[in-house]
Amino acid sequence: MIKNAGVWAGAILLAYSALLFQQSLLLDYYNPYGPGPGFLPLWLSALLLIVALLYILDSIKAEVVKLVDLLPHDDARVDIALMLTGLCLFALLVESIGFVLAGTQLIFLMTLRKFKWYYALPTAASIAVVLLVVFQKLLGVSLPVNDFGW
């Protein structure tokens, strides 16, 4: 059971619904005009609690998805890790280093295993610059930039 992904997903869902239920109890269930802000959340979270329990039971009985199956396959594991790293770095850095550098590192990390680095890096930088120009200048959508404007 410890290796059953469905049980773990159900347990997380159960915790999520319990949290919502507890929070719903803090809201007014009814007010002088009718149902209050806690009315639907309370029913919804209660229903979600029941459904989460049923899902755990179903996961135990039905075909089991193992926890290890949730992980990407060997070859894709590095690709996905690189992409997620790139995305997180982008979110962390974009407001300080600007879109072009943050975008370049994201594209570079995602293309690193497909091309030699000296092809991947200029390509990544070019794509980031083109996107900045297209969004900022042509489409009028403002992107986060550094003090130099890129």
Partner 1 sequence: MDSIVPLLDGFGTAMMGWNLFYCLLGVTIGMLVGILPGLGPTTGIALLLPITFSMEAIPAIIMLSGIYYGAMYGGTVTSVLINTPGEAASVTTCFDGYPMARQGRAGTALGVAGIGSFIGGTVSMFGIVFIGPPLAKMALSFGPPEFFALMVVGLVMVVGLMGKSMLRGMISMLIGLSLSLVGMDPLTGNLRFTFGVPNLVEGLDFVVISMGLFGISEVMLGMEQTVFSGKLPKVGKLLPNRDEWAPTMKAIARGSGLGFLIGLIPGSNSVIPAILSYSIEKKLAKDPSRFGKGAIEGVAGPETANNSYCGGALIPLFTIGIPSSPTIAVLFGAFIMHGLTPGPMLFENNANFVWAVIASMFIGNVMLLIMNLPMASLWGKVATIPSTLMYPGIAIISVVGAYCTGGRVWDIWVMIIFGVIGYIMKKIDIPMAPIVLTFVLGKMIENSLVQSLIYFYGSLWGFLDRPIACTLLVLALLIFAGSAIAGIKNKRGMLANDVE
Cβ partners under 8 Å of residue 95, min gap 6: 144
Residue 86 touching partner 1 (CB under 8 A): yes
User: How many residues at the interface with partner 1, by CB under 8 A?
Assistant: 65
> Most distant CA pair in the chain: distance in Å?
69
Distance (Å) of CA 17 to CA 43, 46, 141 = 11, 7, 38
Closest CA to 123 of 107, 99, 109: 107
Residue 148 CB, nearest approach to partner 1 (Å): 19
Q: Give the number of C-alpha atoms closer than 13 A to the C-alpha of residue 63, restricted to the C-beta side.
A: 1
Please work out, in degrees rounded to the nearest 5, the angle formed at the alpha carbon of residue 92 by the alpha carbons of 91 and 95: 80
Residue 101 touching partner 1 (CB under 8 A): no
x-or-dash string of contact with partner 1, 52-81, rule CB under 8 A: x-xx--x------x---xx-xx--x--xx-
Residue 23 touching partner 1 (CB under 8 A): yes
Residues binding partner 1 (CB under 8 A): 5-6, 9, 13, 16-17, 20, 23, 27-28, 30-31, 33-41, 44-45, 47-48, 51-52, 54-55, 58, 65, 69-70, 72-73, 76, 79-80, 83-84, 86-88, 90-91, 94-95, 99, 103, 106-107, 110-111, 114, 124, 127-128, 131, 135, 139-144
